[in-house]
Amino acid sequence: MLKIDRDLLAIQEVRNLVAKAKEAQRILDTYPQEKIDEIVKAMAEEAAEASEWLARIAVEETDIGVYEDKVIKNLFAAKRVYETIKDLKTVGFIRKDEINKIYEIAEPVGVIAALTPTTNPTSTAIFKSLISVKARNAIVFSPHPRAADCTCQAVEIMHKAAIRVGAPEGILGCISTPTLEATQTLLRHPDVNLVLATGGSEMVKAAYSAGKPAYGVGPGNVPAYIERSANVRDAVNAIIASKTFDNGTICASEQAVICDRCIAQEVKNNFTELGGVFLNPEEIYKLEKYAFRHDGSLNPAIVGKSAVDIAEKAGIKVPKSARVLLAPLSGVGKQYPLSKEKLSPILAYYEVEDWKEACQLCIELLNLGGLGHTMSIHSNDEEIIKKFALEKPAFRILVNQPSSFGAIGATTGLVPSLTLGCGTWGGNATSDNIGPMHLMNIKRVAYGVQTVDELKASLLAKENKPKECNAAGVSKGLNASIIDSIVEEVLKRLNS
């Protein structure tokens, strides 16, 4: 009986939040660009100010990740994302094409339902709130049950900041008691216009099955290839920095290292010097049993935990200085569980003969669970880099970059984002890094560039080419060969 009451209360909360969001969005839709920008700026500044506190309560509630790294994630969402979107036009005429005489007008999508993960609960809330309001939308969050409080706190901080500078009440909302029924009610609510989902595969599937337009993301099983021309020390440094950031909870973090056999010893030496621990077959078996459950799914107990903690729980002895666990594997697939996404400082390790073998191995790893997401290559050979980019089923090919930072646009020129689309390869609607432009409808005003008579004349105009004739003076067309044979036959008869 208590469960039923809890569900009913949660469902009613969703209905109330959506009703407020719909009315708030209707008012926000009337605001000029200057006012929208003022609101977004206030939200970003407040989120940046609260970044340390939000990081602390996120770690305390979820017991996932690293406090200092979550501060950086929050600041990335509040500062880098804001700096990228602050000058973007999202009200009225946003683009004019004088040559083709097309003018574009931005229109909001309306009320957005947002799903957030337990791995990045506050930074994702900051990011989605900023890009939604920038595009004049209201947004209602359904947080992960294990991160409900910290996500709601992040939303509330920005909501208060927005209201303080004139935003309508209810423009941001968060379900305080997220249940499965409440989330389904939110996704299917008739006044919700779009779903923005970040989280596990099941969450994204639920978003796509809600009968609404939806942006989701796919899992990342990012291979990192160290090619023989690479600066090995720099490559290993980048991979460790990326893989240990927030204990590997960013979906774009590396999941496997592949290196050419001719530089393998150098790669191993550098990993060992920088805190990597290579496991033997017995230790790999223990880690597999602990990291994955009987049905092949990832054990959530390892997500966002340190290498030392994971090793201890798996019954493996490692130095206290261990930063990353590396498991040398001979294949990819179900029989090699550690070849899958691990969301922790664990890396599969492979050696290959050359870039061609590495190419095939990267494709196998992406097909296993990271189609369309990301891969990285460490190389100074531009030809090999280009060949990799052409052949890999990933939409982010990062060159000499720490994958976690490069994919989200922190150390690259990609659009700063915490929602990374995987395109149709990954079952997503877009391959882009999601931003405000994905949360707007674009209305187009089109003027004529030619009259109907001019159109007909251009379509019916014959090419001004001299007609090719055969010996009999007959022009060659589509049946030129047939005409030639007839002429040849006539000439034979005349000469006989």
**Catalytic residue list:** 251
Q: Cα(197)–Cα(187) distance, rounded to whole angstroms?
A: 10
Question: Quick check: 74 and 126 in contact, CB under 8 A?
Answer: yes
Beta-ladder partners of 469: 475
User: What contacts 24+ positions apart, CB below 8 Å, involve 212-217?
Assistant: 212/113, 212/187, 212/188, 213/109, 213/429, 214/429, 215/419, 215/421, 215/428, 215/429, 215/430, 215/434, 215/438, 216/421, 216/427, 216/428, 216/429, 217/251, 217/419, 217/420, 217/421, 217/422, 217/426, 217/428
| Rg value, the chain, Cα | 29
Q: Cα(62)–Cα(301) distance, rounded to whole angstroms?
A: 11
Q: Cα(286)–Cα(282) distance, rounded to whole angstroms?
A: 6
Give the count of beta carbons closer than 10 Å to the beta carbon of residue 36. 20
DSSP E strands: which ranges in 29-126? 92-97, 102-108, 111-115
Q: Cα(251)–Cα(217) distance, rounded to whole angstroms?
A: 10
Beta-ladder partners of 196: 114, 215
The angle that helices 51-62 and 33-49 make with each other, rounded to 10 degrees, is: 60
Residue 138, H or E segment: strand 138-142
Q: Cα(207)–Cα(313) distance, rounded to whole angstroms?
A: 34
Q: Cα(260)–Cα(48) distance, rounded to whole angstroms?
A: 43
